């Protein structure tokens, strides 16, 4: 997400799932806007929004700083519809960026050393910047959020308890920000490290009830750690404006395949949690401190290293832990008709690696970070790739 994310954008209301019906799923993606000539972040959000056509299948909104923009799909019950919505939004906003002399880049944070971006022209954002000082400073940080429909808040908080142990491996799946200030940080998701400066960022605590959830939110607002409930930045939470559980742990994904795979896995994990709640199965007792460590490991290694296995808290290859999660949620993938597609997308992820691994592979060819930006811009919309550079050397 941005250095200080916006309140949740207004989107279409969705009803909670009826018993046995498919769970609705929707996705929000945040992108960096870069100058088409220099590849550096550019404060172009107002120009891009103005150039974006009306009637899109979802929403397009500002984010906290002026070099970011966010899209949000319509809620869907099938992945094909979700993909169509996101594809239309990505291509339309990429075209609008091109008309504004910019490019749309799906990256967790910008790789170059660049001036601090200005805060977007919104009173709430200005208040957040004033209240939180240097915590709010920094580059645009771009995430992906997956919403899954639930019946009510009480079932939602119980689902959140069951999600907690598995979110680190989904965090690893989305790692897409290894470079910052002109160098490799040694992390697969440096966005996560920068984002953790905010006081409410972290694993969702174990929740006793919906009342307990609301009490915690009220206490955090009262403490000043957040100005309003939109600043509740737990890695999963209840949406404040639609009846969904929202998983918000990852970097924005480079491709639609990556995003659709994440959406399928999150929906299947929520469905698995709902079944566990219905049967009275308690959530796995993973301590908060262990989850913090597991998320740090996910940010550092992505899927190319090690992960904390929630079953016994042992350190194992991240791909092995992801395979265990896939096996766990496979019945829900099959229930929603997603199993074959999700397996194919998992195979593709295994072949190509995370976004962080792909960025590093592109950089290794010429040691030019501008190549990384160009590669990612082309993943959004091949037609919208930025113009060839002239006379440029290594971008480090």
pLDDT in tens, 122-138: 888 889 999 999 888 77
Residues forming a β-bridge with 237: 246
**CA-angle at 325, arms to 156 and 90, nearest 5°:** 70
Pull the structure tokens for residue 333.
């993938």
**CA-angle at 374, arms to 70 and 356, nearest 5°:** 75
Segment 137-164, tens digit of pLDDT: 778 899 999 999 999 999 999 999 999 9
The DSSP bridge pattern shows strands 183-184 and 68-73 to be unpaired
Cα(391)–Cα(394) distance, integer angstroms: 10
Model confidence at 383, pLDDT cuts 50, 70, 90, reads low
Helices and strands, number each (H, E), in the chain: 13, 11
Cα separations in angstroms, 272 against 118, 121, 361: 42, 41, 35
Radius of gyration of the chain (CA): 20
Segment 227-256, tens digit of pLDDT: 999 999 999 999 988 899 999 999 999 999
Segment 27-57, tens digit of pLDDT: 999 999 999 999 999 999 999 999 999 999 8
Cα(124)–Cα(230) distance, integer angstroms: 11
What average pLDDT is seen over the chain?
A: 91
Cα(355)–Cα(187) distance, integer angstroms: 12
**Which residue in the block uniquely carries the two structure tokens 């208040």?**
127
Give pLDDT, residue 385. 52
CA 198 and chain centroid, separation: 16
Cβ atoms of 101 and 84 within 8 Å: the answer is no
Cα separations in angstroms, 212 against 94, 153, 215, 218, 219: 42, 11, 5, 10, 10
Cα separations in angstroms, 353 against 42, 88, 171: 29, 25, 14
Pull the structure tokens for residue 13.
């209301």
Of the options 3.50.50.60, 3.30.590.20, 3.40.250.10, 3.40.50.150, the CATH number for the domain spanning 25-121+136-379: 3.30.590.20
Segment 270-299, tens digit of pLDDT: 999 999 999 999 998 899 999 999 999 999
> Nearest-CA neighbor of 151 among 282, 242, 276, 281?
242
Beta strands in the chain (DSSP E): 25-35, 58-62, 68-73, 102-105, 143-149, 179-180, 183-184, 236-238, 244-251, 306-308, 315-317
Residue 15 has pLDDT above 70, yes or no: no
What is the domain partition of the chain in residue ranges? 25-121+136-379
The b-or-e profile of 75-95 (16+ CB within 10 A means b, else e) is bbbebeebbbbbbbbbbbbbb
Give pLDDT, residue 351. 96
Model confidence at 6, pLDDT cuts 50, 70, 90, reads very low
Q: Which residue has the higher pLDDT, 365 or 137?
A: 365
Q: Summarize the confidence of residues 82-94 as an average pLDDT.
A: 96
Cβ atoms of 7 and 230 within 8 Å: the answer is yes
* CB neighbour class for 144 (10 Å; exposed up to 12, middle 13-18, buried from 19): buried
Cβ atoms of 102 and 387 within 8 Å: the answer is no
Pull the structure tokens for residue 298.
């996910």
Residues forming a β-bridge with 378: none
**Which residue in the block uniquely carries the two structure tokens 């690893």?**
172
Percent of the chain with pLDDT over 90: 83
Segment 184-194, tens digit of pLDDT: 999 999 999 99
Residue 391 DSSP label:
S
Pull the structure tokens for residue 136.
């709010």
Cα separations in angstroms, 117 against 78, 123, 148: 37, 16, 32
The length of the chain, given as a count of residues: 396
Give pLDDT, residue 389. 53
> Nearest-CA neighbor of 286 among 214, 204, 212, 220?
204
């Amino acid at each position: 997400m941005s250095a200080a994310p916006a309140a949740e954008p207004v989107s279409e209301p969705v009803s909670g799932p009826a018993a046995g019906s498919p769970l609705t799923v929707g996705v929000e993606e945040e992108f960096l806007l870069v100058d088409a000539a220099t590849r550096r972040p550019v404060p172009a959000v107002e120009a891009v929004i103005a150039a974006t056509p009306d009637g899109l299948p979802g929403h397009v909104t500002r984010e906290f700083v002026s070099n970011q923009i966010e899209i949000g799909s319509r809620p869907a019950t099938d992945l094909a519809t979700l993909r169509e919505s996101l594809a239309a939004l990505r291509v339309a906003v990429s075209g609008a960026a091109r008309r504004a002399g910019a490019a749309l880049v799906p990256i967790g944070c910008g790789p170059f050393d660049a001036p601090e971006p200005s805060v977007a022209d919104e009173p709430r954002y200005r208040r957040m910047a004033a209240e939180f000082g240097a915590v709010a400073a920094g580059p645009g940080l771009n995430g992906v959020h997956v919403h899954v429909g639930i019946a009510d808040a009480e079932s939602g908080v119980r689902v959140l308890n069951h999600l907690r142990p598995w979110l680190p491996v989904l965090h690893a799946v989305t790692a897409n920000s290894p470079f910052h200030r002109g160098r490799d940080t040694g992390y697969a998701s440096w966005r996560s490290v920068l984002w953790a400066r905010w006081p409410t960022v972290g694993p969702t605590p174990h929740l006793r009830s919906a009342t307990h959830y609301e009490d915690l939110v009220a206490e955090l607002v009262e403490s000043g750690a957040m100005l309003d409930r939109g600043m509740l930045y737990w890695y999963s939470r209840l949406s404040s404006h639609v009846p969904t559980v929202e998983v918000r742990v990852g970097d924005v994904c480079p491709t639609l395949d990556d995003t659709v795979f994440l959406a399928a896995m999150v929906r299947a994990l929520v469905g698995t949690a709902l079944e566990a709640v219905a049967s009275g199965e308690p959530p796995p007792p993973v301590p908060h401190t262990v989850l913090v460590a597991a998320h740090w490991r996910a940010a550092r290694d992505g899927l190319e290293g090690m992960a904390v296995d929630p079953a016994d808290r042992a350190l194992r290859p991240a791909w092995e832990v992801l395979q265990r999660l896939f096996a766990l949620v496979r019945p829900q993938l099959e229930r929603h008709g997603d199993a074959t597609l999700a397996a194919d997308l998992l195979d593709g992820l295994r072949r190509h690696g995370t976004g962080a691994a792909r960025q590093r592979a592109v950089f290794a060819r010429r040691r030019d970070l501008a190549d990384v930006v160009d590669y990612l811009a082309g993943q959004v919309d091949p037609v919208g790739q930025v113009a060839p550079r002239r006379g440029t050397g290594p971008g480090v």
